[in-house]
Amino acid sequence: MHRHTVLFNLKDELSEAEKKRVIDSMQTLRTISTIKGYMLEKNKLPAGDKAPYEWLLVADFANDDDRQTYEKDAHHVKVIKGDFVPAVKNYIISDVNF
């Protein structure tokens, strides 16, 4: 299995409606066929030094090849370039096999 994890914050200047639109768009990534499991949730911990990211995305794939297929998927590219990148303040990514 391959797990792709993204922790991120949206830009402060976005309205609540804009933030909702971005999160709703990112929720559609779960429809990409190579994904075996998908979670996108707001962090329950208050923002601070020990919890600097507000959002968590976790996507599981059967293997590295499926993860690479996801990266190149037209819908993924559209959501990431069109919605995520313009709206995100900062993020980190982790990919592991388990």
Can you give the pLDDT at residue 37? 98
Task: Give burial (CB, 10 Å; 0-12/13-18/19+) of 9.
Answer: middle
Q: For 5-53, what is each residue's pLDDT tens digit?
A: 999 999 999 999 999 999 999 999 999 999 999 999 999 998 888 899 9
How far is the C-alpha of 86 from the C-alpha of 67, rounded, in Å?
A: 23
Q: For 60-91, what is each residue's pLDDT tens digit?
A: 999 999 999 999 999 999 999 999 999 999 99
Q: What domains can be seen in the chain, in order of their start residue?
A: 2-97 (3.30.70.100)
Can you give the pLDDT at residue 47? 84
What's the whole-model pTM score? 0.94
CA 71 vs. chain centroid, Å, equals 12
